[in-house]
Amino acid sequence: MDKGKITQLFIKVCILLLFAAAITFVGIKYAPQIIYLATNPSDLKSLLASYGSTGIVIFILIQIIQVIIAFLPGDVTQLAGGYIYGTILGTLYSTIGITLGSVIVFFTARFLGYSLLNLFISKELFEKFSFLMNSPKSEMAMFIIFLIPGMPKDFLSYIAGITPIKPMTFFVITSVARFPALFVSTYIGANLQQGNLTAVIIATAISCILLVAGFLMKERILTFLHGNNSKKVDNL
């Protein structure tokens, strides 16, 4: 290995360690507070209101953090967004935050590469979605995966960074595919704040049915997509 490659590897390792340290620090220090506030939207609303218009920026930042720290519950923060800002603005602010978080995650993964990301993303998760990395025509498969409820979408944003997909294509896919679930979560939050329990119950029931269906069908869908994309690779 020449000196240039060694230097490049050293830089990547340093960035990985800094990135991992930052995620760990934020996760330990702020994750419990974010989870508490997201599950108690009235408290979050009061906190954001105390910052005036800057509260919107803080909410968007929370959405960015929940994408980067993939184990944070995105659905809950989206519901909180609807509770605080209503369906339209809540959806808009959540979309901005999730998209920016996805951009950060995608380019970080693309810079670090598979060998370094493999240090903190489980081998099982990599293997399950390995067909996305091997196929240059996996856009539709990725769209379907991001559309299905219950998929580890934030972890997938990391994996997407080391696939052949073009950045802009990925950002369009993730924004469009995430939109239905995001909109429903925000809608539930908005109607919860307004006391429209009928709308909340109906939307929640539909969400639960889709979530259970997605969970039950997840492995079959992944197996189908894996086989379909493997055939595409073989035919190239």
**162-193 residues labelled b (16+ CB within 10 A) or e (exposed):** bbebeeeebbebbbebbbebbbbbbbbbbbbb
**10-residue stretch averages of pLDDT, the chain, 236 residues long:** 72 78 77 80 89 92 86 82 94 93 89 72 75 70 82 81 86 89 92 90 86 75 65 43
- Coil, strand or helix at 217: helix
Domain count, the chain: 1
Instruction: Please report how the helices 167-194 and 74-112 are oriented relative to each other, as an axis angle in degrees rounded to 10.
Output: 170
Is the CB of residue 81 less than 8 Å from the CB of residue 189? yes
Is 0.85 surpassed by the pTM of this model?
Answer: no
User: What is the residue range of 39's domain?
Assistant: 3-235
Tell me which residue has tokens 């990301």: 117
